[in-house]
Amino acid sequence: MFLDNLLPGYMGMLAAPSKLLKRFCHKEMVSFGLLANLHVMKRRQIISGIDSIWDIGANQGQFAFMAHCVWPQLPIYSFEPDPDSFSQLKRNFTKYAIPGQPHNIALGAEQASLELRRYANPVNNSFLNRQEQNENESYDKVIVECSTLDNLHTALPITKAAFLKLDVQGFELAVIKGSAEFLRHCRYVLAEVSFSSSYTNGAHADEVMLALREHGFECIQMLDLLRDKQTGHMLEADMLFVNKRLDNPQ
């Protein structure tokens, strides 16, 4: 789940248009820090020229809702494998009149059936084992269908400048591997990355950066950096990448 950075959040709120502020009555759908960051990045044209938003690891649609607040005219395609979370995601698309379409499927490196671990807090759901799992923390398992973004995006409207958000709890490398063709038409990637071993065999931030660099992406922003309170070591952050090949084809 994307983390709140309260100071930029409140400063961003002061600059936000009134129609965006009206959305704040839906507190269950809003991370104030992320919403403010998205608004500021649009206003400063750090993110610009996009034609669609692709939400991988959508949960119940929190990111889709915030992206819709900032880019209300753009279609949003959300992907969520957990059937319970997807039910709420689908309702939220209807409730908030979000253009686009939600999909009840996982994305990875290949087409397969995978075992999803589901926790009490669904933002922790993952195909990988949690390293810091509390002994008393219970979870159940469900088999879900997985495909690749390359397989699925061809059946959806053509995109030439997509904005891709990744929040997949250590499964980033698999998603990237299955998105090689899509990434050629993707302008930005916003990925939650980990600097610690939160999940067994989960992707490290360095690996995600390297994988995206191979597709022409460069990290231009680090948002909501979380540090260990005792050691000061970096734990996780949201990283924004831009595709340098879109304007400079190779």
Non-local (6+) Cβ contacts of 64 within 8 A are 53, 55, 58, 76, 78, 89, 92, 93, 98, 100, 102
Q: What is the pLDDT of residues 25-68, one digit of tens each?
A: 555 666 788 899 999 999 999 999 999 999 999 999 999 999 99
Q: What is the pLDDT of residues 77-89, one digit of tens each?
A: 999 999 999 999 9
Q: Which helix (H) or strand (E) segment is 40 a member of?
A: helix 32-43
Domain 6-10+50-243 has CATH 3.40.50.150: yes
Could you say which DSSP state residue 61 is in?
Answer: T
SS3 68: helix
Domain boundaries, the chain: 6-10+50-243
Strand locations in the chain, DSSP E? 52-56, 76-79, 100-103, 106-107, 112-119, 139-147, 162-166, 186-194, 217-227, 234-243
Nearest to 70 by CA among 58, 56, 53: 53
Q: Please, what sign has the CA dihedral across residues 54, 60, 65, 66? A: negative
Check residues 78 and 201 and name the one with the higher pLDDT: 78
Q: What is the pLDDT of residues 105-161, one digit of tens each?
A: 999 999 999 999 998 888 889 888 887 665 567 889 999 999 999 999 989 988 999
Mean pLDDT of 95-108: 97
153-162, 174-183, 198-207: least confidently modelled range: 198-207
